[in-house]
Structure 1
Amino acid sequence: MKCIEVTIWLFLAAVVSAKPPNMVFMLMDDMGWGDLGVYGNAAKETPNLDKMAAEGMLLPSFYSANPLCSPSRAAMLTGRLPIRNGFYSTNAHARNAYTPQNIVGGIPDSEILFPELLLQAGYATKIIGKWHLGQQPQYHPLKHGFHEWFGSPNCHFGPYNDVTTPNIPVYRNASMAGRYYTDFPINRSTGESNLTQLYIQEAVDFIHKSVGAGSPFFLYWTPDATHDPLYASKTFLRTSSRGLYGDAVRELDYGVGVILKLLTQLGVASDTLVIFSSDNGGATYAKEMGGSNGPFLCGKETTFEGGMREPTIAWWPGTVAGGTVSHQLGSMMDWFSTALDLAEIKEPDDRIIDGMSLLPILVNGTVTDRPVFYYRGDELMAVRYQMYKAHYWTWTNSIDEFNHGTDFCPGEEIANVTTHDQVNHTSQPLLFHLGRDPGEKYLIKPKTAEYIEAMKLIQPIVDEHHKTLVKGAPQLNYCDPAVMNWAPPGCEDLDQCLPVPHHDQTLCYWPH
C-alpha cells in the first residue's frame, strides 16, 4: 500500500514540478445540467462541449455551493461556503440573496480568493464576463487577484432610464468602457447582442498574450448569455430548435470550441487545465426560456438537485484521461484547493476551507467520500452523503409568489416535498436515494432499516458541521440607491457620470 501511495505522490508531483499549468475556468450563468448533449439533451446542439467531454472527464455529481449566482461565485473563488464568507443575508430566514446594483456589501477584504494566491506563483490573471461579488470599486476584481477585467459587476438587466436606475457599466480593467444597452447593445425584442463574441475575442487575445509572454495564466471566462434577458449574436439567432435559450447555448458552445482549439494550436493544451461548469441550475421558472436540469427536481433558487447540480467537464490532454467519468461528489469550492495544489501554493491555515483538491481524481480517478451541504441563505436545507440526501428544511417559494406566476418547480409539484411554506424537518429529515430516485420523488420511509442506517451516517456529519460552524458577517443585508452605478470609475472620460442621490440605507428585501 505504501509503495502505491508513494507512486501516486511522485506522479502528482511530476504533474506540477516543471512549470505550473495554465488554468481556464469557464463558468456559465443559469445553465442547467441537462443542457448539454453529453448529459442527454435531445437537441444535441453542443458538439464542442460533447467533444470536450470525450477528450476529458465528465463529473455528473458536481454541485454549486448555492442555488443563486453571487453566493455560488463567492464560494468558488474563496473555497468557502457562503455562510462562512459572508455572502448571505439574515434579513429573513432561508432567503437567497445576491448583489444587485443597490447592494451595500460585497466580497470582504478578509476573504482570500485563489487568484490572489496565484499571483505568488507568477500567474497572469483575467476575468471576462460577469463578476457579481459587489459593484462598488473596493469589491472589483482588480482588488481581488485579477490583473485584467473585461465585463460587468452586475447582471445585464435593463435597459434603465438613468434617472431612477442607472444602466449597468461594462469595465475594461479599472475603468468603465460604457454601459449595457447604450454602448453595448442588447435588443430586448430580438435577443440580438454581440457580447458573447466580444467575450470570445477577449479570451483569444489574453491567451495569445500570455503564451507569448511565457507566464502561466488563469482565465476566468464567465459569459452570461443564458441568464435572462437571453441574447445571442446574429449568426446564432434562430438556429436552435430550443429557441433563444438554445441560440445562446449554441454560441457559448462555439466559444468553448474556439478556446480549446486555440490552446491546441498554440501547443499549450497539455499544459492547461480547462474546467466547464455553471453557477447554479437552470431557471425553470422561465419555462421554455430557461435551461434544462435533466432528470432533477426544480431548478435555480431551490436546494433540490435541479438547483445545485451542475454540468461539469474537466479537460487536460495528457493528464486527464479522455472519455472518463468520475462519480466523485464534487463542489465548485474544490477549484480553490485544486488551483492552489496545481500551483504548489499552501492553503491558508487561518480559516476553514470547504473544498478539497481534485487533482487525485483528475489524474487517477480516485474517489473520496465526503458530504455536500445545500444552503439557502442562513439555513442548512439539506445534506448529501454517498447516494443519500436528507432534507432538513423544504421550501420552493411562497404561495403568494406562486399565485402571482412565479414557480420554481413548474410541472413538478410533489406533495410534502415542494412546499410553499418553510417546513422544518430537522426532527425527521426527508430522505431520498439519488441513485434510484434522482428526481427526489419517492421518500424513504422513516421506520425502515434503510432510513435508520442512512441517517446514522448523515446525522453525525450535520451535528459536527453545526458544532464547528463560524458564520461570516453577512454582506447582503443592506441596500442603498446611492451606491448604484451612477458614477463608476472612468465615467468622466466618457461623459457618462450621473447625479448620485442621497444615501438611504435600508434592509434589502429578499422574497426567495
Structure 2
Amino acid sequence: MKNRSVVSVSVMYSVRGKCNWLLAIGLLLFTPAAATDDLPNVIIMLMDDMGWGDLGWNGEPSRETPNIDQLASEGLTVTSMYTAAPLCSPSRASLLTGRLPIRNGFYSNNTAGRNVYNFLSPHYPPLYITELSPPYPSPEPLPLHTRYYEDFSINRVRGLSNMTQLFTQEAIGFIEREAGRGPFFLLWAPDSTHAPTYASDAFRGTSRRGRYGDAVRELDAGVGAIIEALRHAGVDNNTLVVFTSDNGAALVSKQEGGSNGPFLCGKQTTYEGGMRVPGVFWWPGVIPAGSVSQQVWTQMDLFSTVAQLAGVPLPQGRQIDGLPLANSLIHPHLEIFRPVFLYRGNRLMAVRQGSYKMHLWTWSTPTYELAKGIDYCPGADVHNVTTSTPTDHSDRPVLFNIAVDPGERYPISSHSAEYSSQVPVLLQAVFDHRAKLKRGEPQLNWCDRAVMHWAPPGCEALGKCLKPPASNPTLCNWPH
C-alpha cells in the first residue's frame, strides 16, 4: 500500500435511516501510483436492494436494463452469487473485508438470530462527505467536506433527486483522470433503488414499473455511461467490471421494491430471495462473451479475487472466507465444490453446497411485523419453511435441491435416499465451519446517539458543527 494514492468520497451516515455508513459509500477509489501495465483496473458496481429478477437478462418482463443486459451478453453471468448477509450493512462490511459478519464483528449477540444495521433517528446528524488524499492509510481524522442534505437533495414525496447523476459523473471523471496513470479500483454504489426510491427529472415517469423502475432505468444508464467512459479512455480491454447488489429486493416495499424472480422471500431473510443476487462479470478479450458459470460465489470472493488479480497477498493472521476465483472467470466451466454459510445476525441459518441447500433454522417475518402489514415473503407460504417465529430444524434439517427447485417450494423428504446421502455431507461442512470459527467481538450490541459524527474534524472551518447529546449507552434492540 505504500505507493498508492487514494481518493475517497465516502457518505458516512445515511439520514435515510436504513443502514450504516457501509451502505452509503458512494465511491471508494484507489489508484496505484506506479504499477505494471498487465494489472487490470477493477470496477465493482454494487446496487442497493436490487433483486435478481430486476434485470432483463434474468427475465424481467419490461426489459428495461439494456446496458446491464449488454454487460451480461458480452461477459459472464454467475447464476449463484450470494451476499454474506440478507441486508445492507453487514453485507457490505463482508464484501470489503472478505469475511463473514460473525468474524468481522458486524453483528450483535443481544438476541440470537437478529439482523443488525446502524439505525438512525430524525435526531441524528446528517451524513457528511470527506475526501482523503495521499498518503494512505492516514492516521489522522478525515476533514469535513460538506453535510449531505445541504448539497444533495432527495424529495421523498416526488421521488426526485439527481444523486445517481452525480455518482455517475464522479465515476466518469475519475476514470478520465486515472485511466492513463496505471491500474485503478472503483466501488460505485448508488442507492436509488433503496426505499424511498428516486430518479432525476430525465428518468421520472419513464418506466413501466413505476418509481422503482425509474430508478433502475437511471442506474442502467449510469452503467452504460461508465462503460462508454472506459472505451473512450481506451482501457475497456484491461478493466474487470462486476455488477451485483448488496442483498435481495426488499419485498416489504411492495410496488416500490424490486423482484427476486423465482426465489423465495426477500431482504432480511436467508431464503434465496434474501441473499441470492445478480452477478455479472465483464472483461472484454479475457472473459468469454455470453458465458455462464455455475460456480457458487459469495461477494466475499470479490475481496480475494481482486487481490489475486492485483498480485497482492491476502492479510495474514485472520480467516478469510472469500476464495480467489479469477480462474473461474476465464474458464467458466470450472466449478469448485465449496460450502456457503448463510447467517441471520449471529445465527447460522443455512448452508449451500453444490446443488443442495440445508436449513438448520427458518424464520421469515416476525409475527409482530406481520400484524403491522410488514411481510418479507408476500404471497409465499411454504409449510415448515416460511415460519413466522425462529424455528430450529437442527435435529431434522430442511433440505432443497436448489438447481431443481430454486424457489424452495418442495422440501426433499427426510425419508428419501437423496436426503440420507446429502444431509450428512452438509452437516459435516457445518461441523468443520463451527470447529474453526473464531467469532469477532460484536460491534452492534450498544447504541448511543452521542457517538455519531455531530462535530467531525473540520466542521469549525465550515461553521457546521452540531452539539452532541449527552451520552446514554443502551443495549440495542434488534427486532428482526
Q: TM-score, normalised by structure 1?
A: 0.83
Identity %: 52
Q: Which has the higher contact order (CA 8 A, sep 6+)?
A: 1
> Which amino acid in 2 is paired with 1:221?
W
The reply to whether residue 380 of structure 1 matches residue 348 of structure 2 is yes
2:365·2:377 contact (CA, 8 Å) conserved in 1?
Answer: no
SS at match of 1:181: helix
Q: Which residue of 2 aligns with 1:143?
A: none
Cα distance in 2, alignment partners of residues 459 and 232 from structure 1: 46
Which residue pairs with 2:76 in the alignment?
57
The residue type paired with residue 359 of structure 1 is A
202-211 or 169-178, which deviates more = 169-178
Aligned with 1:429 (options 397, 406, 430): 397
Cα root mean square deviation, aligned: 1.4
Q: Kindly provide the amino acid, as one letter, of the partner of residue 177 in structure 2.
A: K
| Structure-2 separation of matches of 1:166 and 1:79 | 30
User: What is the match of residue 233 of structure 2?
Assistant: 266
Runs of 5+ in structure 2 lacking a partner? 1-34, 133-141
Determine the structure 2 residue equivalent to 1:217: 184
Say if 1:101 and 1:485, in contact at 8 Å, map to a contact too.
Answer: no
* Displacement of 1:17: 7.8
Q: CA separation in 1, counterparts of 2:417 and 2:157? A: 56
1:270 and 1:83 map into 2 onto residues whose CA distance is 37
Partners of 1:99 and 1:171 lie apart in 2 by 19
Shift of 1:43: 1.0
1:493 corresponding residue in structure 2: 461
Residue by residue over 1:114-144, the C-alpha shift from the partner in whole angstroms, topping out at 9 and shown as x without a partner, is xxxxxxxxxxxxxxxxxxxxxxxxxxxxxxx
Q: Which runs of 5+ in 1 are unaligned?
A: 1-15, 103-159
SS in 2 for 1:314: strand
Matched, 1:167 2:126: yes
Decide which of 316, 323, 329 is 1:356's aligned counterpart. Answer: 323
Shift of 1:86: 0.5
CA drift of 1:42 comes to: 0.4
Displacement of 1:101 in angstroms is 4.8
Aligned counterpart, 1:448: 416
CA contact (8 A) 1:101 1:484 kept: no
Q: Is residue 349–residue 359 contact of structure 2 (8 Å, CA) maintained in 1?
A: yes
Residues of 1 paired with 2:145 and 2:160: CA distance?
20
Q: 2:92 aligns with which of 58, 73, 80?
A: 73
2:41 matches 1:22? yes
Does residue 9 of structure 2 align to residue 42 of structure 1?
A: no
Q: Is the aligned partner of 1:416 residue 2:375?
A: no
User: Following the alignment from structure 1 to structure 2, what is the Cα–Cα distance between the partners of residues 203 and 183?
Assistant: 18
2-side partners of 1:172 and 1:196: how far apart?
19
DSSP-derived class of the 2:187 partner: strand
> Equivalents in 2 of 1:276, 1:171: separation in Å?
25
- Provide Cα deviations, 1:91-118, integer angstroms capped at 9, x if missing partner: 101000012358xxxxxxxxxxxxxxxx
Equivalent pair of 1:178/1:184 in contact (CA under 8 Å): no
TM-aligned CA distance change 1:489 to 1:236, over 3 Å: farther
What residue in structure 2 maps to residue 234 of structure 1?
201
Map Cα deviations across residues 445-481 of structure 1 (whole Å, 9 max, x no partner): 1011011011122111111111111100011111101
The two structures have a TM-score, normalised by structure 2, of: 0.88
Note if 1:190 corresponds to 2:158. Answer: yes
Task: Provide the C-alpha distance between the structure 2 equivalents of 1:483 and 1:188, rounded to a whole number of angstroms.
Answer: 27
Secondary structure of the corresponding residue to residue 204 of structure 1: helix
Deviation per residue, 1:293-312 (Å, 9 max, x gap): 00000000000000000101
1:184-203 Cα offsets, whole Å, 9 max, x none, are 11011111101110000110
Q: Does the 8 A contact of 2:164 with 2:199 survive in 1?
A: yes
Alpha-carbon deviation of 1:485? 3.4
Residue 320 (1) aligns with residue 287 (2): yes
- Paired residues in the alignment total 436
Contact 2:36/2:182 (8 A) holds in 1: no
